[in-house]
Amino acid sequence: MLKGKSIVSIDDVETEDFYEIFHRASIFKKTVKEGKSLELMKGRIMSTFFFEPSTRTRLSFESAMNRLGGSVISVSEAKNSSAAKGETIADTIRMASSYSDIVVMRHPMEGAARVASEFSTVPVLNGGDGSGQHPTQTLLDLFTIWEKYGKIEDLEISLVGDLKYGRTVHSLIKALNRFNNKINLVSPEILQMPDHFLNTLKNRTKINLNSNIDEVLQTTDVFYVTRIQKERFVDLNDYQKVIGSYSFNQELVDRMKDNAIIMHPLPRVDEIDPKIDGNKRAYYFIEAANGVFVRMALIDLILRGGKVE
């Protein structure tokens, strides 16, 4: 049950809740496309605190609440909040939870969302904490895969790019570990998945570490591509060594399985050529759009529960 619950890590969502979220998101997707309005969150307020740059996550959360008939109050940058004066996360969240029914926070410090949830009197949703986790991104990623294949198991999934700092892949692999999938980890050596994540997956998931994308190109069902994150590097010389390591262009896409898809949490830099955006395998904009419906479902389940008529 998700009612009244904070979602800081993907571990906070039970496997059976995945499917409840998916089905509810499907209903909301159909409702929105039909132009119908909802008032399920009428009188409810969401506070959003984005202490790190965000486009899709912030807009989709706020769109989700508005589409449910609720309202949003927000702080878009740390410099615009009392954090600039030295206020602690604990005090900020105590204040925010007295003003609203649910709080969404993105923060550059790993673990910040967990701290916030401990001091909040209302549910807290993690919109990304440093290089830690991004659980709602994982839920929309899984929903996109489920919508495409009708399942989220018995697939071959290749995670490509920055697997060290990429919080989206950290959450995603923890979720995929619950199912019978083959996972390929394709990255430069200095950007491999951290050992503490790999150690949690032993004997549960088929893991293949690889730096050569050609070896998995014709067997992969889902390519989950990530941006190499310049802002996470301490030494920019290391960044220069790996930028452009993988690029999905027309020649590469032509060699993929016909029914395979390319996903990306966005923003992208040079890892996906815009020329392939119209290709039937390009699913990253569908994925981004799905964020609104999945977050609608999550907000509704946490604050209201019950069924959607």
Highest mean pLDDT among 13-27, 47-61, 223-237: 13-27
Check residues 197 and 22 and name the one with the higher pLDDT: 22
Q: What is the mean pLDDT of the chain?
A: 88
Check residues 229 and 17 and name the one with the higher pLDDT: 17
Q: How far apart are CA 78 and CA 81, in angstroms?
A: 5
pLDDT digit string, tens, across residues 263-296: 999 888 889 999 999 999 999 999 999 999 999 9
- Residues of the chain above pLDDT 70, percent: 89
Residue 26 pLDDT grade (very low, low, confident, very high; cuts 50, 70, 90): very high
Question: Which CATH number describes the domain made up of 10-134+290-303?
Answer: 3.40.50.1370
Per the structure block, which two tokens stand in for 17? Answer: 């809740």
Residue ranges of domains in the chain:
10-134+290-303, 136-287
Distances (CA, A) of 22 to 16, 103, 135, 145, 274: 10, 22, 14, 11, 29
Which residues, 6 or more positions from 180, have their beta carbon under 8 angstroms from its beta carbon?
Answer: 153, 154
pLDDT digit string, tens, across residues 76-98: 654 444 454 456 888 889 988 99
In this chain, the answer to whether the domains covering 10-134+290-303 and 136-287 adopt an identical fold is yes
Its pTM stands at 0.90
pLDDT computed for residue 167 by the predictor: 81
pLDDT digit string, tens, across residues 124-181: 999 988 767 889 999 999 999 999 999 999 999 999 988 888 888 988 998 998 988 9
Q: How far apart are CA 270 and CA 162, in angstroms?
A: 13
Quote the CATH superfamily of domain 136-287: Aspartate/ornithine carbamoyltransferase (3.40.50.1370)
**Spatial contact of 249 and 275, defined as CB atoms under 8 Å apart:** yes
pLDDT digit string, tens, across residues 241-266: 666 577 899 999 999 999 999 999 98
Residue 18, pLDDT above cutoff 50? yes
pLDDT computed for residue 128 by the predictor: 85
Across the range 91-117, mean pLDDT stands at: 91
pLDDT computed for residue 85 by the predictor: 45
Q: How far apart are CA 138 and CA 13, in angstroms?
A: 11
Q: How far apart are CA 40 and CA 70, in angstroms?
A: 8
Lowest mean pLDDT among 6-10, 91-95, 235-239, 305-309: 235-239
* Angle (nearest 5°) at CA 189 between 184 and 191: 80
